[in-house]
A and B are shown apart, each in its own frame.
Chain A
Amino acid sequence: MRLNFTRSTASLLAGLALVLTGCGAREEPADIVIVNGAEPESLDPQIVSGQPEIRVVGALFEGLTRFNATTGDPEPALASHWELSNDGRVYTFHLRTNLTWSTGTAITARDFVWSWRRVLTPATASDYVGIMFYLKNAESYFLGQLKDPDAIGVQALDDRTLRVELESPTAFFLSLCAFPTLAVVPPDVIDAHGDLWVRTQPLKTSGAYTLDFWRINDRIRLRRNPHYWDDANTQNQIVDLLPITSATTALNLYLNGQADVVWDKSLVPVHLTDVLRLRPDFHTFDYLGAYFVRFNVTKKPFDDPRVRKAFALSIDRHRIVERITRGGEKAAETLVPLSTANYLPADGLRHDPSEARRLLASAGFPGGQGFPTVNYLLNAGTSASVDEKIAVELQAMWRDVLGVEVSLRPMEWKTYLATLTALDYELARSSWIADYNDPNTFLDIFLSNNGNNRTGWKDQRYDDLIRQANATVDLRKRAEIFREAETYLLRDAAPIGPIYSYAGFNYFDPEKIAGIHANPIDQHPINAIKRLRR
């Protein structure tokens, strides 16, 4: 009986192993395997908002411009050239003559008009619809105040000419054109399949790749699109993107040769950062993201700017980047990272404990006496260990410098976001990643009516300055107005306290893989990536 049992177990296991082999029918090996971070929520370019999605979608759908693989700046893509009117408000884009979808049919200027109108339809529920509001009448159409879609500032003059009219001169409009939200999508497929259009096979794409398959939580496989206008420069045939969120697994796969590239900052095991940074195949660079503290100005005691400033002045930023993050992050007194284009650094609040104590005393809390215990809201969870460490450090700084007690209030991500939006906090861990390389992407979130403000701070003077800057064509003058606005934001009002600007992090062996370059927006077009050897 014992023998029988062992034998039956063995045959059961062998049978299962056979089935398993059957399931994993041999697939072609990919030329390049990339660990891409979280599983994409969507591959619809007009819906996506996260970095992992944007990196994949950029390979499938293209717009008038695309990100240059080296610098991350916009360069001609589906449009070969364009003219800008003297007042900086009207672009005339000329599409290339050889443009086709991956199915072989022509891409026209009318497809662009259709695509952009689709973003502006509330039912599409595009997270990024806000970046379309630079187009004339786009916002009022979106809000339903204007019914006629022809009034929106985008028109097809003929098959290959697109006229784009803006609300005001927009220095970064060509960067926006490279963003997935403004990419061209296939009208006929979307009309026929609705929400499920991205899962039709073969998927009709406008970018360098088509979608071979998308197996959720397993992999996305991209295959070269021979109809792409720049196909001659596509450097690989098949690319696999793995949705992995465990930093340890990502590192293991890379070290074992099962993955060639790992390119999400969250995929570096925090406790190994020090060691890994020294390796030649680990690459770190400035990345346009800001880490800061939000103060809820609608709640006591942070309705008093002196209290907010006292808290901001107490933060020893260098200690945080040197002791905790350690990945090349830069201590920052400004919200806008220093490597941002068209930017003149503002004059923020430096680390100054004695001034901090003086301000807190003048607000009625000398030495922290009588100061209520306040909460610091943060996101908790496995991926948030750095946030937790920073929170503990800030707690200690505020206790040591100001003599106040701050208790930590960790919440899971969605609850944290809901709490932040509801202004149901006193202090909150915050961050913002640039959508495009320009100071406006950081500064406009603190406009009075911006949904991302989340501090309750509303200020007419600030709103006017930002608006004035964005109406200015001269880039130098524009940067100066932004500097004035940001200085006012940080020094006078202080609804936020900046801590550091981000560092990007990726790893790949430069002797095996070429074509991935450090750039401030951390975008690395997949068609430029080339395998040098196995």
Chain B
Amino acid sequence: MRFAFTDDQQLFAEGLRDLLAKECTPAHVRAAWEEGTGHDAALWSRLGEMGVLGVLVPEEQGGFGGTDVDLVLLLEELGKAAAPGPIVEHSAVVAPALIGTDFATGLADGSVIATAALDGSPYVPHAQVADIVLVPGGVARTEGATLTDVEGIDQGRRIFTVDGMTVAPVAFDSDLAFDRGALATAAFLVGLSERMIEVAAEYARQREQYGKPIGAYQAVKHLLADALQKVEFAKPAVYRAAWSISVDEPTRARDVSMAKAFASDAAYRASRSAMQVHGAIGYTWEADLQLWMKKAWALQRAWGDATFHRRRVADAVLGLSR
């Protein structure tokens, strides 16, 4: 029994954090929003070079040869940065699902960009920038398909209806792919939550009313303490689920669902507390807070919302509902 990351895993995450601090600042995220794709091609290629996009691809196929436990901390860092683009779909879902298939080429380094439409949503995230889409039963190319932007709330995650896709049948483990999508999204949400709390605490240290920083008032302290508690208790659930996937535990689906339910709830709580602490500034387009909040609001329901996942845990713990 050992519930901790290795030094190497933490060093990889720190390296990514350093990269993101330079190349995925709020200004970069805004640029990806304004440019209209919700994607940052320069960041994407840096993530490819660093091995982040191919963590789950074996080394002999050009990947990093890592596990879901290696990936989970990276996704948390990417969440802190509200990194735009199909990172979750590509790295956690499609790249491992298509290992050994005709569609594997270019996924390990990200030279082919993949997204996924496996969570029951009628909308395909990031379809505009993706070359291929993993769908139930196979792989579709976006080339030649008709994409309609339906204006997602997070402009770093454009969503589309897609018509006229031709699906090439490919066998893959769709349950595993779904669990990986849900867990990766949960990890991303943990990072988003941490950053929103950090930004709100920073604001509460500086903003003064009645002659002192608002962070000195207990009502403000308690809002943020409660938000922090939710994310601190979501983290172990997320890490455990990553481990359960990596060793294919019999409780994998249950563990993933517990993680996603906790992370979705924690992220929503963090967004509400952070916005409340910001006051009117938090309700502006100008404040960077929206970059994290809107991604949290999109991802809290992506790959199943908290209620969906809580009920999947209930099926495992209480028996199937009647």
A associates with B:
no
